[in-house]
Structure 1
């Protein structure tokens, strides 16, 4: 009888051990995964992307404080910070690193070719030299793009100011993603027979002067999803309200603080989409090199009603272009 009990006990112990080994393959276990996050600067769109990323991980079994440890780094738009923070996350031997916005994504990609990387809020991963192609990244990097239809955003602006002769574009020429969008906007405006006036700023300190100068020479302004200008969106909002100039932004978040309207993406949803991709990598079910770059699934029209009324525009008259 005693031998029988010993055998049963050993069998039970074996089952428990096997169960533990099996559970370690899932995101719902006590096995702690280390994830590094590098965000280029703090502003609403990128903050929402970061929030959504954590939600995406949580929905797939990775909960911060339980089986997930996150090291969050914010470079505050400093190239020196980007480099040192990237190296820190790599040296900590993170299981996965998230790069939020193009400069952060490029920085972590330059720091490691071994650790899996996912990125978000990047306009063109191929142009940024992060992947070989969207369909087949071929490297240790994949993620989500925030590229939307620039044509639709320009059509939206021209529908608000149909008699405009000159439209202004503001962006940081040092941001590769902004340059891509600005070039597309120029092409769309020239096709529509509208003159274009471009002003750039390298830092947030220059944004107010650039906005004031441009607002006095144009009938409408377009700002792509630019981190420098997004960080100063409230300043921009004050200027365009005072000058009575409609501004269409590349980001819906910027509309809330400084723009009139946008047709764009929900950055929290985009971040969540990225988090789900990261979970698959952490689960060992996929590798970045084989995971196609994903786009936002939903676009939405956002109108700042208070800004519209301040500009003498009926908010209901602003419609999404077809």
Structure 2
């Protein structure tokens, strides 16, 4: 083969290779429509509301053109309500060079930010009740670093108003909560402040671990007219046990979102956690695409709350749900799942 022909062949091969390289999607290239992304989704505990957040988060990304299996690789881990495991998950995502970490629930968000800020990896959180109290945001809603997300702040006043309508003669509301979850501490304080306006007194049931829940529940049930559940991850993980114990004493348990009502809480003025997750996914998409840094986006709150009721639970307890609530319900359940 002549030298000139060989040179032409080499040039053609090189040009083809260069063209192929230029068309290959670049991992994590912010602002590039052809980018491939890898994100770590870290969930603190296994229960319905957090699962819905995760589902909504993935949907929100998809609506923004970032889809699992196409231009997105998702690594998912669950800490099973263990703080040490949460930190290990974050370290694993950092080692695998995630482009972004989605942290679901307050303890997970705190662990994620603590680890990821050293690696310059943005964190987008969801289901964080009070980002300011959790040291994840400033008083004005701005970020403390490359972290932002969505809050699931509970509609405390609306919940108390609902309980009063369903239980017109009730006086004492019992609330179980974990002393290690700052989200629960701040919500308890809000309930104690607002409760007298509706003729209630809050009776606290603090716990330090899930093993404390059976005894703490028994103690509360002897002092209250009803229980009111928060979004406390440790408590929610044991909610079926709490509902069972309360049911045997004919004491209603109020939930804080739709999944708790499905499994046996009588009612809730709650948020749609799938929508919360979607909102979070759209925020994450902005960061991945390079449209904004996490530090430039204030955290967001879903303010709308809807009534969810379980007529089967009400029937079992001999309680009639007021029509003014059921007529405007987002959803009513006629069975216990």
With the shorter chain as reference, the TM-score category is 0.7 to 0.9
Q: What is the SS of the residue equivalent to 1:112?
A: helix
Decide whether the 8 Å contact of 2:126 with 2:149 is kept in 1.
yes
Following the alignment from structure 1 to structure 2, what is the Cα–Cα distance between the partners of residues 253 and 300? 13
**Alignment match, 2:111:** 107
Runs of 4+ in structure 1 off by over 6 angstroms are: 16-19, 21-27
CA deviation after TM superposition for structure 1 residue 139, in Å: 1.3
Following the alignment from structure 1 to structure 2, what is the Cα–Cα distance between the partners of residues 18 and 79? 43
Following the alignment from structure 1 to structure 2, what is the Cα–Cα distance between the partners of residues 304 and 212? 24
Moved more, 132-141 or 119-128: 132-141
Decide whether the 8 Å contact of 1:86 with 1:111 is kept in 2.
yes
Q: Find the partner of 1:219 among 216, 225, 246.
A: 225
**Alignment match, 2:236:** 230
Q: Find the partner of 2:90 among 86, 89, 99.
A: 86
Which digits, 9 at most, give the CA deviation of each residue in 1:25-69, with x for residues without a partner?
76763x320101111111111111011111111111111122111
Which digits, 9 at most, give the CA deviation of each residue in 1:146-168, with x for residues without a partner?
00321111121122212122221
TM-score w.r.t. the length of structure 1 is 0.88
**Alignment match, 1:73:** 77
Structure 1 gaps, min length 5 = 1-8
**Alignment match, 2:175:** 169
1:29-44 matches, within 5 Å, as 29=34, 31-44=35-48
TM-score w.r.t. the length of structure 2 is 0.84
Q: Find the partner of 1:243 among 245, 249, 255.
A: 249
Q: Find the partner of 1:253 among 256, 259, 272.
A: 259
Decide whether the 8 Å contact of 1:120 with 1:274 is kept in 2.
yes
**Alignment match, 1:47:** 51
**Alignment match, 2:7:** none
Decide whether the 8 Å contact of 1:125 with 1:134 is kept in 2.
no
Cα separation, partners in 2 of 1:206 and 1:18, compared to 1, 3 Å: closer
Which digits, 9 at most, give the CA deviation of each residue in 1:59-80, with x for residues without a partner?
1111112211111111111121
Decide whether the 8 Å contact of 1:97 with 1:115 is kept in 2.
yes
CA RMSD of aligned residues (A): 2.5
Cα separation, partners in 2 of 1:288 and 1:25, compared to 1, 3 Å: closer
Following the alignment from structure 1 to structure 2, what is the Cα–Cα distance between the partners of residues 241 and 208? 14
Following the alignment from structure 2 to structure 1, what is the Cα–Cα distance between the partners of residues 138 and 115? 18
Which digits, 9 at most, give the CA deviation of each residue in 1:89-139, with x for residues without a partner?
112221110110000000010002221110000001111001224532241
Q: Find the partner of 1:152 among 129, 152, 158.
A: 158
Which digits, 9 at most, give the CA deviation of each residue in 1:250-303, with x for residues without a partner?
233212113111111111110111001101111110111111111125321100
Cα separation, partners in 2 of 1:260 and 1:27, compared to 1, 3 Å: farther
